[in-house]
Amino acid sequence: MAIDLSTLVKAYDVRGVVPDQLSPHVAQALGAAFARAVVLADAGAGSADADEAAAGRPAMVIGRDMRDSGPELVDAFARGVTGQGVDVTLIGLCSTDGLYFASGRLDVPGAMFTASHNPARYNGIKLCRSGARPVGQETGLAQVRELAQGYLDDGLPEPVAEPGRVTEQDVLADYAGFLRELVDLSGVRPLKVVVDAGNGMGGLTVPAVLGDAAGLAGLPVEVVPLFFELDGTFPNHEANPLEPANLIDLQAAVVANEADLGLAFDGDADRCFVVDERGGAVSPSAITALVGLAEVTKELTAGRTPTVIHNLITSHAVPDLLSAAGAETVRTRVGHSFIKAQMARHGAVFGGEHSAHYYFRDFWFADTGMLAALHVLAALGTQDHTMSELAEMFEPYVGSGEINSTVPDAAAATERVLDAYRAAYPGIVVDTLDGVTVSHWESHPQWWFNLRASNTEPLLRLNVEAADQDIMEKVRDDVLSLVRDPAAEPAEGEETP
């Protein structure tokens, strides 16, 4: 059966159903392609000089999450890599930020086998260059797909005369120690935190970083564990805290245990979500502003002018608060490869996304949910406010969250919304950095919304923010009516958008 990698290789990673889309044969082809297009190219050999480059022993690192399909796919990918003369270091079970740590510390490219929050039947690969630098469509992934497609169509390339070697290394203790050095929790007041690992890799990393499982000294932090057993079938709930239904267990446990806060990690534990002591979800935008302020303050204290990156879906509070604190803020499109590229370009100290990805200059400009969690614990534990009171300081505006609409023609629906709003509000500002953003923020009443089409489904994604709840709901409902009903029009009025 012919295999079309265009359905598997996404905008900035590889993800699909096992084995229908992602099989060991496909993984081996992707491994050979990654070796030639990225690893050997980074080593200065180029894709056509594998035998010559092998003499310099180029290398990469591979990790995986707890999915049952992981070991077989890793073995196949490694065969493809070593067949092109590249050494492989296997670090076994790890979080995605654990793989980035290994790539940064060892200064070699990396591959993380994970499908993040996707259901058990999926697996995938997150790829990076040496130093955890991003690999996206414009930075190598398109070439990997093209080469691998050729290998699947015409046969795998011949192995080089001297194949690469495979070794194993445990980096968990070094990873935990490195994060502890970046944020010191030894002096915080005693905290009780409920952590929902969702049967994902947080069940491995949290005991190592917040506890003593990696041999580190104890912290004044009591962890109440939820679903720490590594289980890629996700028997309790999906490991996707972005969906409110998957936070219910954590919210109830925080209240029942009278905890100071709750933390939820996705399947590969690179994203972290926060719940306050009352069980309320804290927006990732608020966490972006909170953590960003800590990093900005550190930079200003050192006499440097900090830059913070945020995607265009984050709250206006992020640039407002961080600019007021003395930072330069840069707005960018959604997606980790774009954020990482802008982080490196600007030498940014920190970056945040609405999806709870948080990026740190001190972590090779890569994203790590665990480091963000440490910053939240430090911010809470060094003052007397509750988590809800602390979060309220960073949430001055009201957001809708992301709302999906199934539409037959996303472009036509977007143009319909634009036509209606341009007619009703001549003073709006429209930009197309990522989808379409319509802003009325400089006039009363303040509001903005963004519409982005899905790359893989017939969906339009809507995000709305306003200065108060009534305005947000009015804009939200008007835009959804226009998206879903071609005959609808936005209502006008001085006090409603």
What pLDDT, in 10s, does the model give residues 185-222? 989 999 999 999 999 999 999 999 999 999 999 999 99
Q: How far is CA 294 from the centre of its chain?
A: 20
The alpha carbon torsion through 127, 129, 130, 134 (nearest 10 deg) reads: -90
The answer, yes or no, to whether residue 101 has pLDDT greater than 60, is yes
Which of 23, 69, 116, 400 is labelled catalytic? 116
Residue type, position 454, single letter: S
Residue 116 is among the residues annotated as catalytic for this protein: yes
pLDDT tens digits, one per residue of 281-315: 999 999 999 999 999 999 999 999 999 999 999 99
pLDDT tens digits, one per residue of 347-392: 999 999 999 999 999 999 999 999 999 999 999 999 999 999 999 9
Residue 483 three-state SS: helix
pLDDT given for residue 49 in this prediction: 42
The radius of gyration of the chain from alpha carbons, rounded to an integer in Å, stands at: 23
Whether 147 and 33 have beta carbons less than 8 Å apart is answered as yes
User: CA-CA distance, 231 to 228, in Å (whole number)?
Assistant: 9
User: Please, which residues have CB within 8 angstroms of residue 1's CB and are 6 or more apart in sequence?
Assistant: none
pLDDT given for residue 278 in this prediction: 98
* Residues written for the chain: 497
The answer, yes or no, to whether residue 45 has pLDDT greater than 70, is no
Whether 77 and 95 have beta carbons less than 8 Å apart is answered as no
Average pLDDT for 396-419:
94
Residue 356 three-state SS: coil
The answer, yes or no, to whether residue 70 has pLDDT greater than 50, is yes
pLDDT given for residue 341 in this prediction: 87
Residue 111 three-state SS: strand
pLDDT tens digits, one per residue of 132-160: 998 988 889 999 999 999 999 999 999 99
pLDDT given for residue 53 in this prediction: 41
State the Cα angle at 112 between 109 and 114, rounded to 5°.
160
Taking the model in full, what pTM does it have? 0.92
The answer, yes or no, to whether residue 52 has pLDDT greater than 90, is no
Residues pairing with 178 in the sheet: none
Whether 377 and 221 have beta carbons less than 8 Å apart is answered as yes
pLDDT given for residue 50 in this prediction: 44
User: CA-CA distance, 55 to 51, in Å (whole number)?
Assistant: 7
Residue type, position 139, single letter: T
% of the chain residues with pLDDT over 70: 94
Whether 340 and 156 have beta carbons less than 8 Å apart is answered as no
Comparison of pLDDT for 106 and 489, the residue scoring more: 106
Q: How far is CA 161 from the centre of its chain?
A: 39
Backbone angles phi, psi at 246, to 5 degrees: -85, 0
Instruction: Output the average pLDDT for the chain.
Output: 93
pLDDT given for residue 340 in this prediction: 87
pLDDT given for residue 495 in this prediction: 32
The answer, yes or no, to whether residue 56 has pLDDT greater than 90, is no
Whether 88 and 165 have beta carbons less than 8 Å apart is answered as yes
User: Please, which residues have CB within 8 angstroms of residue 309's CB and are 6 or more apart in sequence?
Assistant: 329, 330, 332, 339, 342, 343, 346, 348, 350, 351, 352, 359
Which DSSP symbol is given to 403? E
End-to-end, the C-alpha distance of the chain in Å comes to 53
Average pLDDT for 238-251:
95
Whether 272 and 198 have beta carbons less than 8 Å apart is answered as no
Please name the helix (run of DSSP H) or strand (run of DSSP E) that holds residue 223, with its range, or none. Answer: strand 221-226
CB burial readout 300-333, b (16+ within 10 A) else e? eeeeeebbbbbbbbbbbbbbebbeeeebebbbbe
Q: Pairing mode, if any, of strands 459-466 and 403-406?
A: antiparallel
Average pLDDT for 1-29:
92
